[in-house]
Structure 1
Amino acid sequence: MNWKIYLSGEIHTDWRDQIKKGCEMRDLPVSFCSAVTDHEASDAAGDGLGAESNSFWRDHKSAKVNSIRTKHLVHSCDIAVVRFGDKYKQWNAAFDAGMCAALGKPYITLHDESIIHPLKEVDGAAMAWAQSVDQVIEILAYVTSAD
């Protein structure tokens, strides 16, 4: 079986690439998908529907267009990894985790100790809380093993 892993959350570091490389080095039976990680492209996703003078409506349109991809990927994944960085608030990542919880999709949160308290409900529904990419890779190696 090939496991489909949805990588959600923080877009300002290379954590996704690290997970992909680590899984490839271990020859894990996984493939990866993600929301759009280009911030400007994501913000402009709804611009093709017409210009807006009010930023709320621009964001609203783009969020809806982005959600077409996100909903499909969350529904079709086997496991999600939801990364929360310390630099920005990732409301979209929390929303993805909530969708996973509502759909019964297993997910792993990835963040450091400094944001345990604000993520207590998100972590409470997660199957695991990892503090490093290596821990995520270990979990993926274990759950995808054929033995």
Structure 2
Amino acid sequence: MELIVYLAGQIHDDWRTEIKTVASEMKLSVNFVGPMENHERSDNIGEEILGKQPNSLIKDHAASDINNFRTEVLLKKADVVIAFFGEKYKQWNTAMDASAALSMNKPVILIRPETLVHPLKELSNKANVTVETPEQALRVLSYLFETS
């Protein structure tokens, strides 16, 4: 069995690399997908495809249309969603992706530090599993592959 795992979360640091490395070390049969990790490309994809936009607001809307399209397609293909909330960055996209996954009845593992228990209590309550570290999330996935 191979799982498709959507990694929802901010694209400003390398948390996905950590998850992919540990998953490989654990020999988990998973294929990771997620948002465009190249921030500049994500911000500019609307103009790359549609051409120069008249102002920054319309440029942002053009990019969001294409990024939301990517997210919807990949979320629908995913077997599991891991939603990562860290301490450093605002997490609006993570909350949106986790909520979308839940509305699609996708299993969600929420990663959040103890300091975010209160602001994420409702989302955590809806997630299938809530953990504090990426390693714990991968241990949850690993359990899916155990037979005895």
Structures share fold, TM-score greater than 0.5: yes
Taking the aligned partners of 1:87 and 1:54, their CA distance within structure 2 comes to: 29
Q: Give deviations 1:7-60, integer Å, cap 9, x for gaps.
A: 110223322111112111121121111110111111111113232343221111
d(CA) in 2 for partners of 1:80, 1:145: 19
Aligned residue for 1:27?
A: 27
- Give yes or no for contact 2:12–2:39 (8 Å, CA) kept in 1: no
| Cα offset, 1:77, TM superposition | 0.4
Secondary structure at the residue paired with 1:45? helix
CA distance in 2, matches of 1:87, 1:27: 30
Distance 2:106 2:118 in 1: 23
Give the unaligned 5+ runs of structure 2. none
Once the two structures are overlaid, the 10-residue window that deviates more, 47-56 or 96-105, is 47-56
**% identity of equivalent residues:** 37
CA contact (8 A) 1:80 1:107 kept: yes
Structure 1 segments of 4 or more deviating over 4 A? none
RMSD: 1.4
Aligned length: 147
Match of 1:143 in 2: 144
Deviation at 1:115, TM superposition (A): 1.7
- Structure 1: runs of 5+ lacking an equivalent: none
- TM-score, normalising length: structure 1: 0.92
